[in-house]
Structure 1
Amino acid sequence: MKKTLTSNMSRRGFLAGTAAMAGSAAFAQAEDSTEIEREISQTIRRNVSSFRALDWRPYFDDLRNGAVLVDTQSRALHFWSQDESVYKLYPTSVPLTEDLTRLGRTEIVRKVVGPDWRPTPSMIERNPEWPRYVPPGPNNPLGTHALYLSWQYYRIHGTHDTRKIGRRSSNGCIGLYNEQIAELFDLTKVGTQVLLI
């Protein structure tokens, strides 16, 4: 009993410390953020309550070329390698609203390290002040790596603004921490199947 209490206290202390560090990092990042990134509301709550491992079988017929499942409700991305030797679970950002969210089956059609970014016509319509082009680098909304999907304008990509992860904060894409998109980038290939639910 005493051992369990100590373990729980240590875990609580670790979680509290981690939350404090993440909060200070997000505050520091906000100082250097681009105008596009400043639009994230501090009142948007993160959803980690249903962040759990899943089996691939209810979602895919097979693991041909590997598989990516994005659960927009739990804000989590799951990856399974073709031979089932690798399973990864990452927290994500998801689209701000239901009308920006596209669900269904697609696949990775292109992979880019250091992507550039252009807002879509609908983004420009909603935000006419946004730049028409952002080159690769620290101000790029796509972060360090991007996986282009067969759906036009939709990507799984990194972000330099860590406040976005775990939130409804994107204009349609799925975002990951830069370190995690780099890992997923190496695990996936052109032809990896993707399902957004």
Structure 2
Amino acid sequence: MTDHRSHKFGRRSFLASGAAFLSTPALAQTESGTTEVERDLGEAVVRNISSFRSLEWQPYFSNLNNGAVLVDVTSRALHYWSGDGSVYKLYPTSVPLTEDLTRRGRTSVVRKVDGPSWRPTPSMKKRNPEWPDYVGPGPDNPLGTHALYLGWTYYRIHGTHDTRKIGRRSSNGCIGLYNEHISELFELAKVGTQVLLI
């Protein structure tokens, strides 16, 4: 007879440690050098959304070939333009916890996965050795329902089952969207869609 307690304990301890991690205030250095404190994810946060506005694509891209995605880490927004310019979408996002986890620059969508699996990066595993080596698709998966894999190793635009993360510094480097938004973006974006993080 197989004892499943160790598997359940491992999963429970992963979820518990994740919950503990999420309830710890996140500290991040802002551009002015002051410390920004992200409050407990269980608390409601009221933000000034004046910087969350629609943008034109021309200052950021020379063309819209294959469509274009702009992620503005400061305003915590993702902008999408279709290749013919007829579709524009603006979504709120989660962003990396700290500047050292944040990657900026140009890349592209290299792979699309409906129902992604998740593995912690080596640096995540080093910081959190109790985390599992693998989480399959489903409600416990940190990548939510869909993922757009970028040309940079370990970087994704993906969904999240934890809606409290959106609008916050809460990721280890990826850009997170509500599951309903990543599902929509997943249908719009193609392999080859341009991506710029600023």
TM-score (norm 2): 0.80
User: d(CA) in 2 for partners of 1:187 and 1:37?
Assistant: 31
Which 10-residue stretch deviates more, 42-51 or 63-72?
42-51
Partner of 1:182: 183
User: d(CA) in 2 for partners of 1:164 and 1:93?
Assistant: 6
SS at structure 2 position matched to 1:143? coil
> Are residues 171 and 64 of structure 1, via their aligned partners in 2, closer, same or farther at CA, if it must alter by over 3 Å?
same
TM-score (norm 1): 0.80
User: d(CA) in 2 for partners of 1:96 and 1:40?
Assistant: 11
Partner of 2:6: none
User: d(CA) in 2 for partners of 1:120 and 1:49?
Assistant: 35
- Deviation for aligned residue 1:139: 0.1
User: d(CA) in 1 for partners of 2:77 and 2:161?
Assistant: 18
Higher helix share: 1
Partner of 1:16: none
Contact 1:108 1:193 in 2 (8 A): yes
User: Structure 1: which 5+ residue stretches go unaligned?
Assistant: 1-32
Which 10-residue stretch deviates more, 44-53 or 151-160?
44-53
- Deviation for aligned residue 1:46: 6.6
Whether 1:151 aligns to 2:123 is no
Partner of 1:107: 108
- Deviation for aligned residue 1:128: 1.1
Q: How does 1:100-179 map to 2 (within 5 A)?
A: 100-179=101-180
- Deviation for aligned residue 1:34: 2.9
Deviations 1:116-166 (A, max 9, x none): 000000001111111110000000000000000000000000000000000
Q: Which amino acid aligns with 2:101?
A: L
Deviations 1:85-135 (A, max 9, x none): 100000000000000000000000000000000000000111111111000
User: d(CA) in 2 for partners of 1:190 and 1:65?
Assistant: 8
Which 10-residue stretch deviates more, 104-113 or 121-130?
121-130
